[in-house]
Structure 1
């Protein structure tokens, strides 16, 4: 399963990438919403999106919506440290920061078997 991690905090992004790779996922990573949208236009194909909500360039809601337009069945997992107006794509799951990698891996593993 190919996962795109969109996270502006370098420490959190590194932790997520390392945890996902250790669990056997193929991972791409970017540090902003605008980088994620640029990557989408290059033709990257992913099976799941793990995105922060508050990001430079474009928020996680916008990133997920753009990826879903291209990949209608894309699994989306949002992570956030803020209580805010929720606008997930249908079927998207929201986890609060700090989160445990076991939570993320459990959700992604469930999606991988569907």
Structure 2
């Protein structure tokens, strides 16, 4: 399963990528919403998207919407440390920071089933 992690906090991003790779996932990463959108334009296919909501260049809502336009059934997990106005794509799941990587892995297993 190929997952894109979009997170502007380098510590959180590195920890999440490492733990998902240790769990056997193929992981790509982007430090901004703009980088994530560039990967989409490059034609990168994914099995799941894990995105922060508040980020530079494009927020998580915008990233998820763009990916869902190309991949309508793409599972999307949002992570946020803030109380956010809810705008998830249909079927998107919101996790509050701090989250446990076991929560993410459990949700990824659920959406892959």
Normalised to the residue count of structure 1, the TM-score between the two structures is 0.98
Q: Which residue in 2 is equivalent to 1:101?
A: 101
Q: Which residue in 2 is equivalent to 1:70?
A: 70
1:77 is paired with a residue whose SS is strand
Q: Give the Å deviation of 1:109.
A: 1.1
Q: Which residue in 2 is equivalent to 1:58?
A: 58
> Could you tell me how far apart the structure 1 residues matched to 2:18 and 2:61 are?
24
Map 1:79-90; keep pairs closer than 5 Å.
Answer: 79-90=79-90
Q: Give the Å deviation of 1:17.
A: 0.3
Q: Which residue in 2 is equivalent to 1:25?
A: 25
Alignment deviations for residues 55-111 of structure 1 (CA, whole Å, 9 cap, x no partner): 100000000000000000000000000002010000000000000000000000111
Normalised to the residue count of structure 2, the TM-score between the two structures is 0.99
Unaligned regions of 5+ residues in structure 2, if any? none
Q: Which residue in 1 is equivalent to 2:92?
A: 92
2:58 is paired with a residue whose SS is coil
Unaligned regions of 5+ residues in structure 1, if any? none
Aligned residue pairs total 113
Root-mean-square deviation (CA), in Å? 0.5
